[in-house]
Structure 1
C-alpha cells in the first residue's frame, strides 16, 4: 500500500497514462470526455443559494426514506454557523441500486478504478486498512485525493451503517433501495467535518440517486470526543474555515458530474467485474 506522508498520499496523477491505457483491464471504461450537466442541475446552480430551511440538517436525514421527493432535490445553502448543505438528484436509466453497493466496495482498492468515476478530478484512493477487494465498505475508511473545483483535496471517508442516521435498513431492503452513508474529514486534521448520504431507489427503467452533503459548521467534531464539550470545540474549529457559496456549488457540480458519468458505464462495469466475474 502507498504510504501517506503527513496525512497525504505520496502518489498523485490525474487521468490514465499511456501505459495504463495499454495494460489496465479497466482502460476501455476510462472516458475523459464528460457529458454536460443535466438541465435540472444547471437550473439549480442558476438560482444560487436557497433558504436553509429547504435543506434540513443531517439530524433529519432519515426523512429521505419516505416516498416522494423533498422540496429541494437540487440546490445548496450556507447556514449561519458556516456549514454547507447540498442536494443533488441523479437519474440513472439501466442502473440497479445494488450495483452502487458493489461499486462502493470495489472502487476503493485501486486508483485506476477510482478514476473511472470522475476522470477529470479523481487522483488517488486507498483503504486505510490496507486490504483490497473485500466485498463490503461499511466500517472501512477510504483515503482519497481529488479535485473540487481547482483545489486538490486530501480527505478521508468512513462508511457507516445507514442505521446510524436513523434509516430503517429492513424497510430499505424490502423496497430494493440502497443507502450509502459516510462521515469524513480533511487528512491530517483531528476533526470529523462531513456527513454524506446517497439514497438509491429503483424507478421505472432504472434507478435514481438522491445525494446529500453536510459540510462544516455544526457537523464538525473532534475525533473521539462526543458530547457537549466536543460540540463546542467543533463549532470553534468550524469558524476558522467557514464554507462559502462557491464551495457548496463546486461540491454540487462535482457530485452531478461523477454520478452521471459513472451511471453511464456502471451496468457494463458490473457485468464485467461484479460478483462471480
Structure 2
C-alpha cells in the first residue's frame, strides 16, 4: 500500500500501458432502471427497512425481499440504509470472488470498476499473487483502503472483509456474499457494514447489495476524541462528512448501481483473461 500514490480519476498513460487496458472505459455505465427509479423516488419508510440484525434473514431468503432497491433511515433515526439490485447476464458468483481478491492490488484495476469515481486502492496485505489461496481467501481477512467519490464527496475508507458465515450469511458453490466492515481510513471510526450477495438466476446472476452506516455503538470513545481534536483544528484533515445522512444513502445506492452494472458488462471477459 503506497499512501503517497497520486489520487486521480480516469486513466493516465501508465494506466493505459497495463495489460488489461482494453477494459478501460472513458465513463461509467448508468445504473439499471430500478436504481434510477429509486434514486428519483422518496426514501423507503423506516418501518419497511430491515434492521441490521435481520441482514442474514433478508439475504438468505430464496425469493426477493419486499424492498430490494432503495435508501432511507432506520427507526432509530440514525442508521442509514441503502440497497441495490443489479441483474448481471453471463456473470457468476465465482467471478465476483475473484474480482474482490484481484482488484485492490492496483488502483488502475479499481478504476475499471467506476472510472468516474474511483481514485485509489491499496491493500493491508497484498495477497493478489500469494500461492495456495482460493479466491475468497485472497480478500476475506484482509483490508482494502479506497478513495472514491460518492455523491460528489471524497470518501477515504478502510473496508475489512469478513467471513460471511460469522454473520449467518449463507454461501455455496454458486452463491457468494462479500461482507465487510466499513471504517474511516483517516480516524479510528467504524462506520458500518456492507454485504453483496451474488446468486445465480436464469442467464447469469443477480447481486443484492446492502449498506448500513452510522450503526449505534460502533463509534468508540477514542474516535470521538479524535474527531473532537480535528474540530479544534488539532487533528488530521477529514475528507468525509460524519455522520452520514439519508441523502448520502441515496447517492451510495446510485453509486453502487452504476459500478456493479458497469463492471458486470465486461467481467466475464476480464475473468477469462486473468483468472
Structure 1 residue runs of 5 or longer lacking an equivalent are: none
1:139 aligns with 2:137: no
Structure 1 stretches of 4+ with a deviation exceeding 3 A read none
Structure 2 residue runs of 5 or longer lacking an equivalent are: 229-240
Pairs aligned (count):
254
1:162 aligns with 2:164: yes
Which residue of 2 is the match for residue 188 of structure 1? 186
Partners of 1:19 and 1:216 in 2: CA distance: 38
Which residue of 2 is the match for residue 60 of structure 1? 54
* Residue of 89, 114, 125 corresponding to 2:85: 89
Partners of 2:129 and 2:104 in 1: CA distance: 8
Pairwise CA distance, 1:219: 6.1
Partners of 1:73 and 1:260 in 2: CA distance: 15
Q: For each residue in 1:145-182, what CA deviation from the matched residue of structure 2 results, as whole angstroms up to 9, or x when unmatched? A: 111121111110000000121123xxx315x1011100
Q: For each residue in 1:64-116, what CA deviation from the matched residue of structure 2 results, as whole angstroms up to 9, or x when unmatched? A: 11110111000011134422101100000000111000000000100111000
Partners of 2:126 and 2:177 in 1: CA distance: 25
Which residue of 2 is the match for residue 151 of structure 1? 153
Q: For each residue in 1:211-266, what CA deviation from the matched residue of structure 2 results, as whole angstroms up to 9, or x when unmatched? A: 0000114262439x9xxxx9xx89x99xx933322211110011001000000010
Pairwise CA distance, 1:129: 2.2
Pairwise CA distance, 1:197: 0.4
Q: How does 1:211-222 map to 2 (within 5 A)?
A: 211-218=209-216, 220-222=218-220
Q: What SS does the aligned partner of 2:266 have?
A: helix
* Residue of 111, 124, 129 corresponding to 2:125: 129
| Contact 1:105–1:133 (8 Å) recurs in 2 | no
Pairwise CA distance, 1:20: 2.3
Partners of 1:250 and 1:165 in 2: CA distance: 26
Pairwise CA distance, 1:48: 1.7
| Contact 1:78–1:243 (8 Å) recurs in 2 | no
Pairwise CA distance, 1:19: 3.7
1:14 aligns with 2:9: yes
* Residue of 17, 26, 29 corresponding to 1:32: 26
| Contact 1:194–1:219 (8 Å) recurs in 2 | no
Partners of 2:172 and 2:127 in 1: CA distance: 27
| Contact 2:192–2:215 (8 Å) recurs in 1 | no
Pairwise CA distance, 1:10: 4.7
* Residue of 47, 51, 57 corresponding to 2:45: 51
Partners of 2:61 and 2:30 in 1: CA distance: 30
Give the TM-score, by structure 2 length. Answer: 0.86
**TM-aligned CA distance change 1:20 to 1:38, over 3 Å:** same
Partners of 1:219 and 1:56 in 2: CA distance: 18
| Contact 2:101–2:127 (8 Å) recurs in 1 | no
Give the TM-score, by structure 1 length. Answer: 0.85
Q: What SS does the aligned partner of 2:156 have?
A: strand
1:105 aligns with 2:101: yes
Q: What SS does the aligned partner of 1:32 have?
A: coil
Partners of 2:96 and 2:126 in 1: CA distance: 22
